[in-house]
Amino acid sequence: MAIVHLVSVSKRYGATVAVEDFSLDIADGEFVTLLGPSGCGKTTTLRIVAGLVEPTSGRIRFDDQDVTDLPPRKRNIGFVFQTPALFPHLSVADNIGFGLSVKKARKDQIAARVDEMLTMVGLSGYGARLPAQLSGGQQQRIALARVLATDPRVLLFDEPLSALDKNLRDSLKYSILDLQRRTRKTAIYVTHDQSEAFAISDRIVVMNAGHAEQIGTQTDIYLHPQTPFVAEFIGANNGLPGKVTGTDGSGDDERSVVSAGGLTLRARPRAGVGPGDEVLVYLRPENLVVLPDGDGAGYDNVVDGTIERVIFEGPTAQLRVDVAGRELRVDVSGGRRLELIQRHGRVRLGFNDLTLIPVTAAAAPPPTS
Amino acid sequence: MTAMTLHRPRLKARRLTDILSHGYIWFCLVLFVLPFVALLTQSLGERGGTSGIDNYADVFGSFGDNLLWSFKISGLALLVDLAVCLPAAYALVRYPVPGKRVIFSLLQLPLYVPGAVIGLSLLMTYTFVYPIEFMWGLVLAMSVGSFPLMLTPIVVALKDLPLVFEEAAECLGATKWQAYRKIVFPLIGPGVSAGLLLCFIIVFNEYLVTLFVAPPDLETAPLRVFNLVRTNGLAPSTAALAVTMQLISFVAVLAFFRLFGTRHFKGTYIL
Ligand SMILES: Nc1ncnc2c1ncn2[C@@H]1O[C@H](COP(=O)(O)OP(=O)(O)OP(=O)(O)O)[C@@H](O)[C@H]1O
Ligand SMILES: [Mg+2]
Chain A CB contacts of B178 under 8 Å are 102
Percentage, residues of chain A above pLDDT 90: 63
B258 domain residue, yes or no: yes
Residue type, A247: T
pLDDT digits (tens, 9 = 90+) for A64-95: 999 999 999 999 999 999 999 999 999 999 99
Chain B CB contacts of A81 under 8 Å are 164, 167-168
Q: For residue B101, how far is the Cα from the chain centroid?
A: 25
CB contact residues (below 8 A), chain B span 17-76, against chain A: none
| Range of the structural domain that residue B177 is part of | 66-265
| Beta sheet of A31-35, edge-to-edge order | A77-80, A154-158, A186-191, A31-35, A203-208, A211-216
Which of B172, B175, B187 shows the shortest C-beta gap to A146? B172
Atom 17 (ligand 1) nearest CA: A43
B41 domain residue, yes or no: no
| CA A347 – CA A340 distance, rounded (Å) | 10
Cβ distance B162 to A72 less than 8 Å, yes or no, reads: no
Task: Count CB-CB contacts under 10 A for residue B173.
Answer: 22
The confidence score (pLDDT) of residue A263 equals: 87
Cβ distance A102 to B182 less than 8 Å, yes or no, reads: yes
Instruction: List all residues whose CB is within 6 A of at least one atom of ligand 1.
Output: A 13, 16, 18, 36, 38-44, 192
Residue in chain A lying closest to B165 (CA): A85
Q: For residue A257, how far is the Cα from the chain centroid?
A: 32
| Beta sheet of A255-260, edge-to-edge order | A263-267, A255-260, A238-248, A278-283, A354-358
pLDDT digits (tens, 9 = 90+) for A269-316: 888 888 888 899 999 999 998 887 667 778 888 898 999 888 888 888
CA B64 to each of CA B60, B202, B241: distance values in angstroms, whole numbers, following the listed order: 4, 20, 9
| CA B144 – CA B138 distance, rounded (Å) | 10
Q: Does A243 have pLDDT greater than 50?
A: yes
For residue A43, how far is its CA from the centre of ligand 2 (angstroms)? 4
Cβ distance B178 to A87 less than 8 Å, yes or no, reads: no
Q: Average pLDDT of A38-60? A: 96
The confidence score (pLDDT) of residue B9 equals: 61
The confidence score (pLDDT) of residue B170 equals: 96
| Beta sheet of A16-26, edge-to-edge order | A16-26, A4-13, A57-62, A65-66
- At residue A362 the predicted structure's pLDDT band, cuts being 50, 70 and 90, is very low
Are the C-beta atoms of residues A211 and A227 closer than 8 Å to each other?
Answer: no
In angstroms, what separates the C-alpha of B147 from chain A's closest C-alpha?
27
In angstroms, what separates the C-alpha of A240 from chain B's closest C-alpha?
45
In angstroms, what separates the C-alpha of A74 from chain B's closest C-alpha?
7
Q: For residue B90, how far is the Cα from the chain centroid?
A: 22
pLDDT digits (tens, 9 = 90+) for A107-161: 999 999 999 999 999 999 999 999 999 999 999 999 999 999 999 999 999 999 9
Atom 18 (ligand 1) nearest CA: A41
In angstroms, what separates the C-alpha of A54 from chain B's closest C-alpha?
14
List of residues 6+ apart from B225 with CB closer than 8 A:
B207, B238, B241, B242, B245
Ligand number nearest to the C-alpha of A18? 1
| CA B159 – CA B164 distance, rounded (Å) | 12
For residue B222, how far is its CA from the centre of ligand 1 (angstroms)? 56
B3 domain residue, yes or no: no
Number of domains into which chain B is organized = 1
CATH number, residue B151: 1.10.3720.10
For residue A307, how far is its CA from the centre of ligand 1 (angstroms)? 42
For the entire predicted model, the pTM comes to: 0.83
Task: Count CB-CB contacts under 10 A for residue B24.
Answer: 10
Angle among Cα A75, A43, B101 to the nearest 5 degrees reads 95
Atom 5 (ligand 1) nearest CA: A13
The confidence score (pLDDT) of residue B130 equals: 57
| Residues of chain B scoring pLDDT < 50 | 1-3, 261-262, 265-271
For residue B165, how far is its CA from the centre of ligand 2 (angstroms)? 17
The confidence score (pLDDT) of residue B262 equals: 46
Can you say whether the dihedral through the CA atoms of B147, B152, B155, B161 is positive or negative? negative
Closest CA to B169 of A110, A131, A147, A179: A147
Least trusted range by pLDDT, from A15-19, A99-103, A105-109, B55-59? B55-59
Ligand number nearest to the C-alpha of A34? 1
Does B96 lie at the interface with A, CB-CB under 8 angstroms?
Answer: no
Q: Which atom of ligand 1 is the closest one to the Cα of A192?
A: 25
ipTM, 2 dp: 0.86
- Residue B163's SS3 state is coil
List of residues 6+ apart from A253 with CB closer than 8 A:
none
Percentage, residues of chain A above pLDDT 70: 97
B139 domain residue, yes or no: yes
By most ligand atoms within 8 Å of CB, the mutation choice from A16, A46, A196, A206 for ligand 1 is A16
Instruction: Please provide residue A113's backbone torsions phi and psi, each rounded to the nearest 5 degrees.
Output: -65, -40
B38 domain residue, yes or no: no
Q: Could you give all domains of chain A from N- to C-terminal order, each with its CATH number? A: 4-228 (3.40.50.300), 238-284+353-364 (2.40.50), 285-351 (2.40.50.100)
Does B181 lie at the interface with A, CB-CB under 8 angstroms?
Answer: no
Are the C-beta atoms of residues B145 and B117 closer than 8 Å to each other?
Answer: no
The confidence score (pLDDT) of residue A360 equals: 74
The confidence score (pLDDT) of residue B133 equals: 60
List of residues 6+ apart from B67 with CB closer than 8 A:
B59, B60, B221, B244, B245, B248
The confidence score (pLDDT) of residue A368 equals: 40
Beta bridge partners of A240: A281
Q: For A21-77, give the DSSP string.
A: EEEEEE-TT-EEEEE--TTSSHHHHHHHHHTSS--SEEEEEETTEE-TTS-GGGT-E
B116 domain residue, yes or no: yes
Are the C-beta atoms of residues A40 and A213 closer than 8 Å to each other?
Answer: no
| CA A144 – CA A139 distance, rounded (Å) | 9
Residue type, A196: E
Q: Average pLDDT of A34-59? A: 96
The confidence score (pLDDT) of residue B259 equals: 62
